[in-house]
A and B are shown apart, each in its own frame.
Chain A
């Protein structure tokens, strides 16, 4: 089977070898790295710049960033024709290529996030492990948790005031170093597209910057959304559990979504959204004004073939509507949730319009290609490069987040040890 033939429809003159080779998985890749970078930047706002109002969401977004991290390279692996050779990139990196350093940048960033997470939770690990050790009749899960924490402590059992202060200092430094690295990780994804001189739509030096801004937007949006959902779910679960065990704290004691957190965070979201839209429009205006050779075909793609996807779905529904929702006075949590969902959709459409839109026209500038995303898979390839492959990749971070939140508690329970409440 010819790669690309199953979902490409050609119109007018397209070179015989041209197909839509980069599909939904390559849309997912910058979308996910964007979320990773954005979530991390959000958590750093508290750790580095001391925005105390974001205290509640800072730890949450750090864990979420860590959960998203291993998922970012998954779409890349899935789209490779020879996925079993992926390590070749690390073995013989060819550094003139923009993707050769991906593994290195990614691993560096991963180590920064992992160590920051360790410093944030070390105190909690120690106190919990010690407490569980003294407990006479542990359940199996408690024993597992105790040994896991004991391993994770890695011998650093010192929880004196001085030691914990050192931890906080380390967190601050790591968060500060992490911001440029997170931006680099994602700006890098933008560079991969922006540096392809053969593609008229992709080639612009603004691409990395646009990618970073929209990454922060999407990262913040996802954190707000997940924060609200987790808070509500937690309340529901507790109410249900209290029926059997009334000694558990009541939903009121747990505390619900803090409107303050949501309003504050969405203010940052709006800032980055304005920046992203400004740059995107600048790019569009500049292309139209300079009108080089490729403009004719780009115009017919942007204002014709992809009009709905770009102007109605991306700019309209994904940018303008949430913009109004967030700016109208008296922001409620419910409205913020609708806004964040729309923002996430808008950023996804932006990635779509870059990746798929960039392949919507032939390099001959004399024809078009249309991507018909496979819905029901009939073989491995149409699964990987179709709706369900993308849904699979998109849902794994949430499963991972749930799993991680078992080890790294993301909320300050009133009964939890005091050491964990310092963040």
Chain B
């Protein structure tokens, strides 16, 4: 081998080594789409507008066939009563399915507590539902992969594959999951995926007479929900868990759990 030949071959070797192995990886168009899809569902709750009528809970139970009398629900409304002495009372009787029909506050074990009007500093309602987290702990802990995130950001449960271990229920810091009394598998709010994927709104959004609940597409800058989330001051629940929840709240208060 002469010098010319040696240099030529060396250059080929160096050039070959310079090509990183990653560059040879074929790009899957599906992966690209999932990384930046044109749809990401998000929810906006205006707590100022909620009056605690419970129509959303009722509609949800009927729409999603969660037994009406069972004491579990995909969505619920909490009532917060903050007293002048700083005490905070919270309740959600029957998940607020029938609304809040009495001033008495449920304190568990079938007992109620009455608070005089003049003792109350402030009181408000907070609707709750699944946060469809961007980093969902429930999906992380499912041992069989029966619960998963869709490309458009909704966490779903496969009732045919769930083994019912309850690890996802334990893993959710928001307490949105439960066992379906009939199917005996993990159950949760999915933003009425069967409706939103057909262009409809979720049942609770349609049922709310005051517009406290709205659903929208975060990827669409002209979506009214996105506009509010981008331009106004909104809060999220339990940020410290690092779950990146996608239900945004207007009018959150420090007492909200």
Contacts and interface: CB of A to CB of B under 8 A. Distances in A.
B174 to A, nearest CB: 7
A251 interface: no
Contacts of A21: 166, 169-170, 179
A12 interface: yes
Contacts of A82: 162-164, 184-185
Nearest to B78: A13
A93 B89 CA distance: 43
Contacts of B241: 197-198
Interface in B108-138: 108-109, 128, 137
B10 interface: no
Interface string B129-170: 000000001011111111000000000000001111111011
B175 A17 contact: yes
Interface residues of B, number: 51
Interface in A7-25: 9-19, 21-22
Contact of A97 (B107, B167, B176, B185): B167
B181 interface: yes
A364 B91 CA distance: 11
A293 B72 contact: no
B172 interface: yes
Contacts of B76: 15-17
B185 A81 contact: yes
Majority-rule SS of B interface residues = loop
Contact of B144 (A1, A83, A93): A93
B257 interface: yes
A13 B175 contact: no
B240 A96 contact: no
B163 A81 contact: yes
B173 interface: yes
Interface string A341-377: 0000000000000000000001111111000000000
A393 B72 CA distance: 30
Secondary structure of the A contact surface, majority rule: loop
Given A86-B163, A198-B170, A17 B108 contact: no
A14 B92 CA distance: 9
B90 A364 contact: yes
A298 to B, nearest CB: 15
Contacts of B109: 9-11
Contact of B177 (A17, A83, A100, A102): A17
Leading 8 A-B pairs by shortest Cβ distance? A81-B164, A15-B175, A94-B145, A13-B90, A364-B257, A198-B173, A17-B178, A16-B95
18 contacts: A3-B184, A10-B108, A13-B89, A17-B72, A17-B175, A17-B176, A21-B179, A79-B165, A81-B184, A85-B144, A94-B143, A98-B167, A99-B143, A192-B167, A198-B173, A363-B172, A363-B175, A367-B90
Given A13-B108, A196-B170, 9 more contacts: A2-B70, A2-B71, A5-B71, A11-B109, A79-B165, A88-B146, A97-B142, A198-B241, A199-B170
Interface of B: 70-73, 76, 78, 88-92, 94-95, 107-109, 128, 137, 139-146, 161-167, 169-179, 181, 184-185, 240-242, 257
